[in-house]
Structure 1
Amino acid sequence: MKYTAFTYLLSFSLVLCLIGCSHPTMTSEENGTKDSLTSFKSQLTIDSLPAHEQKIALEQQFQRISNKSLTDSTRYDYLSILAYKAFALEQKELFKTANSTAERIAQRLGDTSRMADAHWNYGAYFLQEQVYDSAYYHYKQASELYEQKQNWYYTGKMLYNMAFIRSRLRDYTGSEILIIRAISHFKKVNRDKQLYESYNLLGIIYKELEEYDRAHFYNDEAFDYLEKLPDNFSMHAGYLNNAGVIHQKQGKYEFAIEKFNEALQKFDLERKNKNLYARLIDNRAFSQLHLKMDETVLTDLTRSYQYRDSLQNESGMVISNLHFSEYYAKINDTNQAIRYAQRASVLAKEIGNNRDYLMSLKLLASLDQQQANDYLQTYTTLSDSLIQAERQWRNKFARIDFETDEYIQETKRLEQQKTWILWLSAGLLLILSLAYFLTRQYARNKQLLFESEQQKANEQIYLLALRQQSKMEEGRIQERRRISEDLHDGILGKLFGTRLNLGFLNLKGDQETKQLHKKYLEELQTIEKEIRAISHELKYEMTDSGMGFHTLVNNLLESRGTLGDFEYTLTRSDNLNWEEVDEKMKVNLYRIIQEALQNIVKYSKATHVTIDFQKELNHLQLMICDNGIGFNSNRSSRGIGLKNMRSRTEKLLGTFEIKSEPNEGTKISVQIPLKTFTYETK
């Protein structure tokens, strides 16, 4: 009876494990793909066909998928469904072909979830084939990939499957570690059913380790989650069976029978779950056999065997034969006891149930004294080989864990190396970019410095030109004054003296001669007046030294007019005296005009330009107008020319305004305070 409950629960857990291998919900990147996947699943509803027709149908679908124009992600989804269907219908070669193709696609996509799904499929396949090391390897690969994606539910399921495999091979310590990890993940996502299964398996493990108090504790923990599940009668009955078996192991047969009876009375298992019903009445009979012999023991054992035989539950039939043997040994019917023990031994050996085969050998050795040594020898040999096999399995699992962990560490190392390379590359790129930026900035600053120096030099040249023009104008004025003074003080005085002397001459002659003399004196007087007028004109005309600035602006207009093919008008108010205007203001005004004319030549297509200077109160106003094509002045301009004009105006504490409309020409207004600027520049 030692393995009765354990065998049942491991078989039950295996069913749960395989059911749990159904694929995660698939997502698709294409419109209508979910509908097409549903349609594809319906096309695979071929369970009722004969096996060879199922194979042909699945192979045809595989060829269609291979030849159809699909994205990799969609092709993977189709292949994954096909692989699962082939697995369910035991079409092994097609399963491996479809799943390996799907795995390659997942690797090409770099899709961690899909790679994990492919490993999950392999794990389920190898578990069904009882190739436990391969199954364990693929489940571990899947668990690591799901953990990378922080998919705690699927990570927990893979850990549960790994724990199940190790418990099946009696590596209870390794199984315990894995199932505890699985529980921690299931708790993160509140998966009650998986928590029930995990605590249930943990209770079985501690029962096998003969830590019965802990087995009870975890069995009760499983029940706490079981109560949260709907339609749980089979699992509830299974929980009661587990509790009864643990009491049975402790020798508490009355408590065990209570649990078995509760399960049998509470649920209609004889109709709903005959396998579980047979197990419960068998366990109850076995406990009753050790507690107190009565007529119900043989009745329950017989009914249990009959159900198991009808259900072809060979493992259950082995257990029933062992219990029959113990029953007849209890009533001292040794021959019957040996006969049932031998039946159990033969059947256990046929189905490869080594644990129950060992139990039958041990029972036969105690019953058949004549062949006891042979049975014990066979028992010892098989037990040693099983212990060795279990040790080898544990070593395999440890090696898989080590190699996988080593691979993970190497992967992490390569990832870190890749990260360092990326950071170093980024840092180097940043340094190069910074160096390039600084070089560009240095060159730009140097260019700006050069332009600034050039501007200063140009302004100095203009100031020198303005001063030179002023000097020339001043020289011209002085020369005119000198000529005026020479004419007035010299020539005019001599003429006056000559005229007086001629007037006092006592000329003799006829009247005509006297009239002619008088006429010449009058002409001399007229010449004196003309010379006096010329002298005054030379002295008082063009006394404004500001005519030099006016001339410079006129020269600029003349040169730009020739270049831009436009006519111009230059005017100023009479009350504007350029001598009152600071030279720095003149420089900036000249630069503003120069920049405006430059823009007119380049963009305006104007035929006439007007520049007007007006003095209003204490302000100087400059107006620059053209009849060009204009532009939308409401839009912000990025041109440096306008910015420079505005900047120069602001330096003079003035205001700058530009008005323009398409096809309406352009008007620039600059207004500068004269006194304020003079004050600021002192």
Structure 2
Amino acid sequence: MIKLTLNCIRLSFILWSTLVVCQIDSENLSALPKGITIEAKEKKLVDDAYFLFNNNQVEKSYVIAHQLKKTLKTERAKFNCNLLLAYYFKNKALIDSSIYYVNQSLKFERLDNDSIKTKGRSSAYNILAVNYKNKGLLQQSKKWHLKGIEESQKYNEKDLYYTHTHGLALTYGEMQNYSKALELFEECSKYEGDPEIVFGSYINMGMIYSSLKDYESSDKYFKKGQELSQKQNKQSALAIILLNLAANAQEQNKLNKAIDLYEEVIVISEKIDLHNIKLIAKMNIGSVFIDAKNYKDAQLIYGTALHDAIELGLLSQQLNIYKNLKQIAIEQGNYKNAFTHITDYFKIKDSIYKLQKDEEINELEIRYSTLRKEKEITILQIENSNRKLELTNQKEAIENLRLQQEIENKESENQILAFQNASEKRVSEINLLKKDQEIQESKLIRQKSLKNTILYSFLILLVPIIGLLIIYYQKLQAQSELNKKQEEVSEQKISSLIKSQELKLIKASIEGQDKERKRIAQELHDSIGGNLAAIKLQLNNTFANGKAEALQTINTQLDDTYEQVRDLSHNLIPKKFRKNNFCEVLESYFNNIGEASNLKTSFIVYPRVAIDELDEFLQIETFKIIQELITNTIKHAKASSVELQINLVENVLNLLFEDNGVGFNTKNNSTGIGFENIKSRLRKLSGTFHIDSRINRGTIINIEIPT
């Protein structure tokens, strides 16, 4: 028996108005009429993005919101733009990305007045609560629903209050705290402002009482939901409620009532094309008939359910149906049909296995097909012999009927001679009875031999099938071991390549250091060494000859030597960050990367002057971290565009680095040398490092460094 549950979860979007859909990009700001404030312009652009989202143009609204996020100035627009991105990723089941954008939106929560601020916060808290519930972090979900309830009560926002209360009840239900869940659902059922919350509360209370085996209370709330759904003409919800009512009746052994409700579900489902619910109802009717040992009707209903399951392509339901049909055939003693159903069952199971594993074993398939054809030929031969027997029996029956008609004709013609021929008639009737008895005996003998033939054939075919399955299992085990060894070899190759690359980098670094040492040594030898030798000769001549005018020349040479030493030491310090032009250096670096590769680069910094005035050591370390991020993107990400945003807010330097590359699984991938270097630098700076990446979605890296 299969049940369905229905959890009604409402989503609240912050919309200022409904506007006409239009093409939006960063140039729309200048295209709007003059005299309108920046806040009004940005408000219109974000409104349009929400309009697209609510009218099934989700991907288009995402692209627009992502573009607007780079150019928006006002806090209200930034808040709602990030919240829209959070809704988008929640609908895509990308929970971590959705949580990230909710947190980004909450950074811009300082809105114009307290009422709007309350609505915005409460909606953001609802997204966080739903995301954490879907992630399985029920305590976190509970926390954010409670914060949302507290926020909505500040200005008596009833709709948001009951939205969070309903969500909190669902979370308590997931935590199996049914008493608390029922208490909150009961409160929500009395809210007249939103019929969907009332409707969802009745259904969820019905499901909780059903799981507690309190079918009387369960039926009471389901019937309330039934009345509401009939009143609002929600046929799909009505079908689900009736299906649950029927399941309750079946578990209470009220089989006739259960069948009536299941048939009502089928009628409604046919009207509005709820094919899956219709199929579940049919299968549950079949289970009722099996419980009542009404195998004939069970076989008929499962036959129609099988037809529907095949049309819908529902393989698991087909497995269930074939399994039940096999059991019905065994109960009826029809081993031929049982064998056919179990064969179809394994055929579907094999199809599911192939779809899941995506592997084909051609040799086994050929052998299996050969055996199956031989089995089908055997079955056809048996069926042909049965048909011949049936034809023979039909001919004999026709002959008997003809003889009876002749007897009746003779009786009507010879009624006058009836008494005279009574003895002859009795003799002929006795002969006919003997003949009928002989026919019945021959039928029984044939049926017995047919059953024995089917049983022996089944046993003969079962042995090679079991052997094939054993061989197939052994081959899978061998293939699994081979795959493991190949993975180990591949990992060793990758490790050796990485080590080789690291050795090359170290060698290049050492060569660069050797060249720099040679250059410094050459400078010291050629320039400073020569000057010192000349000074020594001048001093010797001065003391030997007693010439005071040579001291002026020596003083000049000493000044030249000092300047050379000073220039040499200054060459060892990076000149990039000496004149408060850190942002220009980064911008130039990004432009050079874009010109030297196929990467499309984007660099945004705010506030530029304050960042240029940061400590030189912090600037140098930040620059090296950005170089490492760019190097990783070029080597691994296969990206076509990269974006870097640098912000200085409340003495915290925030780096947001984003690419559109292939991405990676942060749970499975071990961190490489590049990420370890970045973490090492951030530990010296007391910074934090967060990665948000998904396969084929790109990578977002968020770094925060206290200044």
The normalised TM-score by structure 1 is 0.43
The normalised TM-score by structure 2 is 0.41
